[in-house]
Chain A
Amino acid sequence: MRVRHAVTGSTSLRLVLGIVLLLLAAMPWLIDPFRLSLLAKAISFAMFALSLDLLWGIAGVFSFGHAAFFGVGAYALALITRDLSFPGNGWVGLVAAMLLPALLALGIGYFTFYGQVAGAYFAIVTLAVSLVLTQLATTWVGLTGGHNGLFPVPPLTLGIPGVAEFTFDTPTRIYFLQLTLLAIALVVSIGVVRSRFGQALVAMEGNESRARFFGYDTSALKLIVFTISGAIAGLAGGTFATIEGFVNPAVLGIALSTQVIIWVILGGRGTLVGPVVGALLVAFLEDYLSGTFLRVWLLMLGALLLLAVLFRPEGLLGTRKIRRLIGTR
């Protein structure tokens, strides 16, 4: 089990988190509005990476198609705020952006965590879900606008419906909303990890059979963390939709699912803070890279990842122990 870990409240991680949040809070005074909205979008991806790290880095459940939840959240919020204009639709949109992916996760989890199939099965099922949903979004033109997607997605209006509403329609407002939501997501995730439930997850990640022999119902544990992860990913997707102003099937697809895996690995799997920072940096950068550069960038990331797996068995940031791999299969 990792020592440098959010669970043990490592000082250096807390320090990093503190610095990062302070820097982020100061951004509106440091950069121009255009870059600010790019950063706000990157925060959506940071939340997304956080959701995957909770599931994968902490609980050890690898998801190959995590964008399915991000995308469902994005579409849910887009449809509600765009097509149903009633006071309070911002809140309903946010709730739906979390609830629908959570239900999806519950469904998938129920059919995959129970029964004695290998972890690879779950990974493949999530891949298939991501593919199927992308297909669905592309062909169900009536609902999703098909290949062209939904446009425009209005800015979010929150506050007290009918009484004191507040629309997030400037880069600064959007940015602070994002920062707040990120902070909340972080608080929730760190809270989960430091709780008894979180300790059980880490025990399970270290050695699932052993955890079961202690009496832990690992299928139930996985189901719960998967649902939470799905909800956070959905929230990330929803916020992305309102910032971008537009959703298309790419938010559900495999490219995004692949990218978030890389963000988590680069940031430091299992540290929660690492993937957030990693995603912020890399996503922010990727927005600058277009076309060919992006492909070369991805190619380099792939090569880096391969080298890391081959030659640094403890993981990229030394966060895994080799020992647990002996004698457990």
Chain B
Amino acid sequence: MEQALVQILNGLSTAGILILVALGLAITFGLLGVINLAHGELFMLGAYTAVIVTDAGGSTWLGMALAPLAVGALGLVMERGVIKRLYVRPFDTLLATFAIGIILRETMTLWRGGRFERVPNPIQRQVEILGARYSTYRLFLLALGVLVLGGAALVLYRSRLGRNTRAAIENREIAAAMGVDVRVTDSAMFALGAGLAGLAGAAISPLVSVEPNMGLPILASSFFVVILGGTGSLLGVAAGAALIGGGQALVSWFADPVIAQISVFLLVIVVIRLRPRGLFGR
């Protein structure tokens, strides 16, 4: 019984983590249509922000607060300096962000020496739920994921920026004609997506080893969540994260975690084959 509960909580918290991780990409790729192959590196930089802050004596919470700002700023620079020039050349965006990813990875390797670093877990306790003991921090991440998703929905559907962005996505020319500054919405949304990636990196850093290449599996997972859930849909992110997180937890009940990852991966591929638009895609 406890085992079952632990697995359920695993599934839920993994889903929460996946939401955190994929949300940034859902905005840059799912909404803006920008293929950002450096998304994983933005996550990685968020994690390193936490490392640097905690090394300097600050708390992990402080790291988590600063990461989205720092990485969001970088995202803004990326968008203004590079992405903006490549909107009409989507394939070149792929190459350019690929190059940026390399630059970020190698820079961090040179700076920090490529070793594995740690960030202290700010909630070391475990909580007891119906007889099972579970990491409180993982539950915190679940809550954070849901919270951030809700926040993103609010921004997208209730704020002026969100409305302008959605109009610009549907029809750039008409939106511009109606007075929406498309350049502002583009930059703001990309920076937001980047900031979210940074936040995710900092938030998840206490659970993993921080090293320069950590971003690549994140990139893959994020893409799968967004594609499975359907581009352009925040609900899709939640659904995709839930399915993948839940699926992994389910399979790792009776099999090796690596097998779990592989089987879920295969499942996603099959689903996309059958439903190319994903679950809630437009």
Contact = CB atoms under 8 A, between A and B. Distances in A.
Interface of A: 62, 64, 111-112, 114-117, 119-121, 123-125, 127-128, 131-132, 135-136, 139, 254-255, 258, 261, 265, 292, 295-296, 298-299, 301-303, 305-306, 309-310, 313, 325, 329
A131 B215 CA distance: 12
A136 B258 contact: yes
Contacts of B184: none
A124 B102 contact: no
A261 B98 contact: yes
A122 B110 CA distance: 31
Interface string B262-282: 100100011011101100000
Given A117-B272, A121-B272, A309-B92, A131 B220 contact: yes
A175 to B, nearest CB: 31
B102 A301 contact: yes
A299 B107 contact: yes
A302 B89 contact: no
B103 A124 contact: no
B220 A306 contact: no
B70 interface: no
**7 nearest CB pairs, A to B:** A302-B102, A306-B99, A299-B106, A305-B99, A302-B103, A115-B276, A124-B223
B216 to A, nearest CB: 5
B102 A258 contact: yes
Nearest to A139: B258
Interface residues of B, number: 45
Contacts of A116: 276-277
Given A299-B102, A299-B110, A62 B94 contact: yes
Interface of B: 29, 35, 37, 82, 85-86, 88-92, 94-96, 98-103, 106-107, 109-110, 114, 213, 216-217, 219-220, 223-224, 227, 256, 258, 261-262, 265, 269-270, 272-274, 276-277
Contacts of B256: 139
Given A120-B35, A305-B95, A111 B269 contact: yes
Contacts of B227: 117, 121, 124
A124 B92 contact: no
B261 A135 contact: yes
Given A120-B35, A139-B256, A329-B90, A128 B96 contact: no
A178 B82 CA distance: 41
20 contacts: A111-B272, A111-B273, A112-B269, A115-B272, A117-B272, A120-B223, A124-B227, A125-B269, A127-B216, A127-B220, A128-B224, A132-B265, A258-B102, A265-B95, A298-B102, A302-B102, A305-B102, A310-B82, A313-B89, A325-B88
Contacts of A111: 269-270, 272-273
B106 A114 contact: no
Contacts of A306: 82, 96, 99-100, 103
A300 to B, nearest CB: 9
Contacts of B220: 124, 127-128, 131
A2 to B, nearest CB: 15
Contacts of B258: 135-136, 139
Contacts of A305: 95, 98-99, 102
B82 to A, nearest CB: 7
A302 B99 contact: yes
Given A115-B273, A120-B94, 14 more contacts: A64-B98, A120-B35, A121-B227, A123-B94, A128-B224, A132-B262, A254-B213, A254-B216, A261-B98, A292-B110, A298-B106, A306-B100, A310-B96, A329-B90
B6 to A, nearest CB: 22
A310 B103 contact: no
Contacts of B109: 295
A139 to B, nearest CB: 5
Contacts of A310: 82, 85-86, 96
B256 to A, nearest CB: 7
Contacts of B95: 265, 305, 309
| Most chain B beta-carbon neighbours within 10 Å: one of A258, A299, A313 | A299
Given A115-B272, A125-B269, A295-B106, A309 B35 contact: no
Nearest to B85: A310
B265 A128 contact: yes
Nearest to B269: A111
Nearest to A261: B98
B103 A299 contact: yes
A121 B225 CA distance: 12
A262 B216 CA distance: 17
Nearest to A258: B102
Contacts of B102: 258, 298-299, 301-302, 305
